[in-house]
Every structure is written in C-alpha cells, then in structure tokens.
Structure 1
C-alpha cells in the first residue's frame, strides 16, 4: 500500500497542535465524513482513507455510518471543538487526540434530525462551524430527551458573536 503522506496545508500552524480526524469511505460499508468544519490540512493515506486536521477552537461535525449485509449497524454524528494544547478533552474514535464533545447522537432518526438542524442553520447563511457551541449542546440535550431543539436564529447568532468578541 502506497500512501501520499504529503500534507495539503492552508495556513501556517507550526506552533499550534492540530486535531486529526481519519476519514474512511468504502461505499455501502463504511462512510466517515465531515459534515461541516474548516480543515486546515489534509493527508491522503490511500484511495479510501484520508486525514483532515483542524486548528484549536474550530468546530466540526464528524459523521460515521457503517453497514453489514443486512443493514445499518452504526449511524452517529459528533459535533466537536478541537482543543488547544493542555486542554482537557474526551476521546472519540478516529479523532486524535480527541475534542470537546458538544453533541453526540446515535441512531438514524436522531442523526437525520441533527442533519436537518445543520441544514436550517445553513439556510440562514450562517456557517454551522460558526454557530454558538452552547447551541450544539442544546441540540444534543433536546434530541437525547426526544424533544425538538429550538431553532437557531440570526439574533442568537449575533448575541454569540458579541459574547465571543468580548471573550465571554
């Protein structure tokens, strides 16, 4: 197996530790992909696997799906914040070293609802990776309890941007 391990870099990050996510695509068997997020580096391992890297504090959604001969066995979405050096983190399969878990949902109906929530944020012309981290925790809690999450609004987004600009 030959691998193209030359990174494709979009910025200089010599000092920043990155969060690496291994993606796999074996059609109709294993599909790991990033639904949103701004990767800053990509390393192609082979024709079915690659690694995307994220800068500290960036948000991304990592979707995992797997099937066997008789149907789906895994359907999961994790929305994570890439951590900085020295920060505490939770481990997540295929994510090194790990990240702060904002949302962790399993089962196709809830994963589908999460994807619809992401679509609704994009319909507002807001990048989901720029949405308030608290909102993703809210979505996790509501879906885990079997309730519908409140919609993300432009007003909520403006409030988040204002809080972020003053360091809250």
Structure 2
C-alpha cells in the first residue's frame, strides 16, 4: 500500500480528481442554515472546497443516503432525503440537485415528518449492526412505496439480511 493510500480521504491530495465513473455529491454545512450531508454510504473520493463545502464521491453500484435541510429566518424551507444507487458509466439515471451526474433514486421523502421516518428506519437497520448501504435496493424501493402510501414497511431483520447475502453469493 502506498503512503498516499493509507491517508484518510480528507488528507489525500485531490490533484488527480475522482476515479472514472464516480458519482459526485456536493455537501454544504452552514449550521442551522444549510445542512447537506450523507447519512450512509461508502465514499471513495473526497475533496474539501472550503470550511463549509466539500465534494464526496461514490463508486458505481454503491448506495448512499443524501439528506438536505435548509432554513431561513422564518423556519425550515427544505427537508429531503434521497437513497440513491450510484450508476455505472453509460447507464440511464435520474437527475438530482448537487449529485453529478445523477443516480437511480430508490427512495425519496420530502417534509420533516417523512424524512424523520426514513431516518428512524435507517437507525433501526444500523442498530442491527447492518450497514444500510448493504441492504438490497428492493428493500429501499419497498420502504419508499410504503411511506408514499402511508403504510408501514416490513422490518429489515438479520434473517432477511442473511438470506439476501446468501442469494447474492449464488446469483450470477
């Protein structure tokens, strides 16, 4: 392993730019004004632009949750979460603000009550010691449809995850 590869992402030089086919997400953090962050997802690239902004990258087929929240002097003006699958080169995609080029949107929720429900669902998966980015895309679509129709999604369990891992290991 090279000395450069052993450094944390934030300390690596960014002269080379992101690897090819990387999905880039621009994050901003201005406390209590604009807070865009990644809730889960394995980052393969990071570039710090300034104190408040950075760009992170995700390899193709990586899942990530992108949370956007903004407020003005009168209160919250934006609350949104998207769970996205980073696309491979040449694959069709959906556009999403601050995500280049875009991705496959598996779940979308707007408004703080709905965003909070999604975050609670993610926390429940985390509490099982399961990486939410390792959950199958079908589960995130299921959660999206259930929340959109006002129904409760099936719980994601350790048994369900073990079955998914076994199915994935034998599928081509």
Calculate the TM-score normalised by the size of structure 1: 0.90
Q: Using the TM superposition, give the Cα deviation of residue 5 of structure 1 relative to its aligned residue in structure 2, in angstroms.
A: 9.8
* CA RMSD in angstroms, aligned pairs only: 2.0
Question: Unaligned 5+ residue runs, structure 2?
Answer: 1-10
Counterpart of 1:92 in structure 2 is 96
Residue 129 (structure 1) aligned with residue 136 (structure 2):
no
Q: Aligned equivalents of 2:143 and 2:15: distance in 1?
A: 33
Q: Aligned equivalents of 1:137 and 1:128: distance in 2?
A: 13
Which of 71, 79, 84 lines up with 2:75 in the alignment? 71
Q: Secondary structure at the match of 2:47?
A: strand
Residue 7 (structure 1) aligned with residue 11 (structure 2):
no
Query: In structure 2, do the counterparts of structure 1 residues 164 and 7 end up closer, same or farther at CA, with 3 Å as the change threshold?
Result: farther
Q: Aligned equivalents of 2:93 and 2:167: distance in 1?
A: 23
Query: In structure 2, do the counterparts of structure 1 residues 54 and 23 end up closer, same or farther at CA, with 3 Å as the change threshold?
Result: same
Q: Secondary structure at the match of 2:164?
A: helix
Counterpart of 2:61 in structure 1 is 57
Q: Aligned equivalents of 2:27 and 2:13: distance in 1?
A: 16
Q: Aligned equivalents of 2:108 and 2:59: distance in 1?
A: 20
**1:27-84 deviations in Å (ceiling 9; x for gaps):** 1110000000010110011111000000000000000000011110100000000001
Question: Unaligned 5+ residue runs, structure 1?
Answer: none
Counterpart of 1:36 in structure 2 is 40
**1:126-148 deviations in Å (ceiling 9; x for gaps):** 00000111110011111111112
Q: Using the TM superposition, give the Cα deviation of residue 8 of structure 1 relative to its aligned residue in structure 2, in angstroms.
A: 9.4
Runs (4+) of structure 1 moved beyond 3 Å?
Answer: none
Q: Aligned equivalents of 1:31 and 1:54: distance in 2?
A: 20
Q: Aligned equivalents of 1:86 and 1:133: distance in 2?
A: 20
Q: Using the TM superposition, give the Cα deviation of residue 160 of structure 1 relative to its aligned residue in structure 2, in angstroms.
A: 1.6
Q: Aligned equivalents of 1:50 and 1:6: distance in 2?
A: 14
Q: Using the TM superposition, give the Cα deviation of residue 167 of structure 1 relative to its aligned residue in structure 2, in angstroms.
A: 3.4
Calculate the TM-score normalised by the size of structure 2: 0.88
